[in-house]
Structure 1
């Protein structure tokens, strides 16, 4: 009997809030180019149809993951998805920035609205160098001691660590020009919690 290995198509589809019908509409049939019928997607999920390389590429594209993420390795992991990457964010303009991103980049953390920001200058260099990325979840903005938050102050975007006693936002920089923000004394806007960083090691 031909027993095909299980896969993660259903798990990934559910994680993105998609029905079988919605996923089928996003996946072009490799034979016809038209939308795939629901029964085919169901058979692929249940391993009743072979998950060929062609199907893996099409399903991965629709689900926003790498093809390897469709395979069930027996190891639990957080599915990789792609989030908007933006450059500098002008004060009050982050929502517009993520609607017109530079590109989409892989991300394993944060909620559905998470986006990536390119680190510029040295205001973040203890955690990520200039040109690296931070991942920000704008739905997670309640300040908790020891956590890092992306904030806007005087039209500039940076990220700092919140300290509860006394309440302040500490810089993440080797440059002493960047000073703590005393909460209650200086106006600032919390964009969201920093849920991850990434840098390219050449």
Structure 2
């Protein structure tokens, strides 16, 4: 049975050396290359080490031979679409979303608002509030924030001062929303849109 290590590594923008260094304990780029190509046996121990380094479930490293995976056949650049010398496997959003920490949240869009269309799924990664460094990564990005009474606020995080955050909703003409001491903040990192 073949594996998907190379496809997942490339989809995450990692080199062989990056993945080797991310393993615990670190290994060599040559070892990762041999595991990817099948010239070295992929044991359960290696599967767990590599899956942890990639931030995915170990089962996602294996490819089902009975199912033909979706393929990336071209890349669209500034000069137009360019064929790939060798098509590569396209990964499902769920395979890319796995990381350490809390599970991703998904916001389903049911009406056109701002840049969002009905049927869009906005994937969000929860952050721990209060850490200045963490909140700095969320500024000027779309965020979902819980409000009292089981409600939510969604919009562009425009300011974070102390325990208070300000969001600019995606709809035109809407007023900014201020939330005091949110339990968490989830930052949008992926949009899934059916065409």
Say which structure is richer in strand: 2
Say which structure is richer in helix: 2
Scaled by the length of structure 1, what TM-score is found?
0.47
Scaled by the length of structure 2, what TM-score is found?
0.48
Quick check: which has more Rg, 1 or 2?
1
